[in-house]
Structure 1
């Protein structure tokens, strides 16, 4: 019998479940405090999850209606790609900056921006473990998985990356 990998052990220990965008997650916090957003929505003030990508998995292009702060915890670095309103791509490399040049422990994705994430190839470990904090709080009703052809029409300079990190047909 093969021993469980570190990723397998973390998935079990943290009780992570498959996420529709790819990877694994578990909500760890939902504020009891509710707020009213500028558009009239009632939301939890904040939510937080554990989020893991392993092996060749990726977080497919999606957007939410709140700011999302990503926090690196363990494993290999991860690139979070954000498509900005002007058509440019911003990539945040999350990881331990003492071990990986240019990496940061946290990065923010603004509300309503399309974004995707992928592990940086490395033979060291088979996973990236992160935390994501959303404010106002996350609701699956406001989660939108991208259609690649629609994104390519808006961001034609990013065609290759959009297709590579998409789950919905093009």
Structure 2
């Protein structure tokens, strides 16, 4: 194992992360247990939840998915992470989260519910990128839809190359 791989394995262990369905690793770090639940069209949800989310050189992509809830992402450590967003009208937006704010990277990113989102760690010395996400109303897997390559390609044919690269088969 090279030093970078060892450091990533230690980080996963230290933060108690596990594989995420969209790619990368995560752990829920907070849910608003001390507040009343919110009633949504999909059922009761916590007011807010938060996770750590890690992309690595071996799991570099968070595949296209759509969440019903708003999510605020907070950059922490490692290499920059590029986010690709497809809005319902087909508008494409690319944002890079990272520490170099003078070069246009951002430390915080809001993604409204109903937006298709993919992420990928950019190649760098660290071999990983670590963020946190705060989700409101709180995250529930029932509120997340993984991107289907064919369906997304039919809906947004102008973004086929990105969809092909950033979805699972």
TM (normalized to structure 2)?
A: 0.91
Please identify which structure carries the higher helix content. 2
Which sections of structure 1, spanning at least 5 residues, go unmatched?
Answer: none
Instruction: Quote the residue 2:88 is aligned against.
Output: 85
| 3-state SS of 1:5 partner | helix
Match of 1:58 among 61, 82, 88: 61
What is aligned with 2:109? 107
Describe the shift of the 1:2–1:157 C-alpha distance in structure 2 as closer, same or farther (beyond 3 A): closer
1:1-170 superposed matches below 5 A: 5-32=6-33, 33=35, 34-37=37-40, 39=41, 41-56=43-58, 57-98=60-101, 101-122=103-124, 124-167=125-168, 169=169
Q: Secondary structure of 2:62's match? A: strand
Moved more, 47-56 or 1-10: 1-10
Gaps of at least 5 residues in structure 2 are none
Q: Calculate the aligned-residue CA RMSD, in Å.
A: 1.6
Deviations along 1:118-169, whole A, 9 cap, x unmatched?
A: 01222x11000010110000001112111111101111111101100111x2
**Residue-by-residue CA offset, 1:59-117 (whole Å, 9 max, x unaligned):** 0011111011111000000011110122111112100135x711000101110111100
The 4+ residue runs of structure 1 with deviation greater than 6 A are none
* Count of matched residue positions in the alignment of Structure 1 and Structure 2: 165
